[in-house]
Amino acid sequence: SAVLTLTVTPVPPVVPVTQWLRSHFGASANTQVAAGDQADPDGDGMPNLFEYAFGRDPLNSDSADFMQAHIQPDPKEAVNYLTIAAAKNPAATNIVYSASVCDGLAEPRWTNTVTGLQDTRATFAVRDNARSSSAPHRFMRLNVKRSF
């Protein structure tokens, strides 16, 4: 006799980016123009890989918030820092999230001098290492890349 064991978990199934592309682009999933990582078919300024990483619809330029940026006090210090938090696509398990900062956009010199605050299946949050009082003009960006 055979034994069948089933395990049920509340974790969403892993959805590789190729499966996500097929579900959104169908027959065009293998074309760089429509479905490439850097393509932006809905024209919202967010490339497909970003849309995947943050659970967005690549064919709808929706404006739903998925990211918040604030000047926040560090709970251990009495100083403020630029912080950013974003809701991740929990099924995008093959994505590496990071952030970078710079002093100006005219000739940006992006660095990864940030401190991770949270990196869970659902949220990515970081803060700048420069105190906002000593670096009042700072810019932060989120970065994503495939891990495999």
Closest to 95 in 3D by CA, of 32, 52, 35, 39 = 52
d(CA 30, CA 7): 34
* pLDDT tens, residue by residue, 27-71: 999 899 999 999 999 999 999 999 999 999 999 987 678 899 999
d(CA 3, CA 145): 41
* pLDDT tens, residue by residue, 90-131: 989 889 999 999 999 988 999 999 999 999 999 999 999 999
Letter for the amino acid at 142?
L
pLDDT of 93 reads: 86
The DSSP secondary-structure symbol of 89 reads -
Cβ-contact 140, 67 below 8 angstroms: no
Q: Strands 95-102, 139-146: parallel, antiparallel or unpaired by DSSP?
A: antiparallel
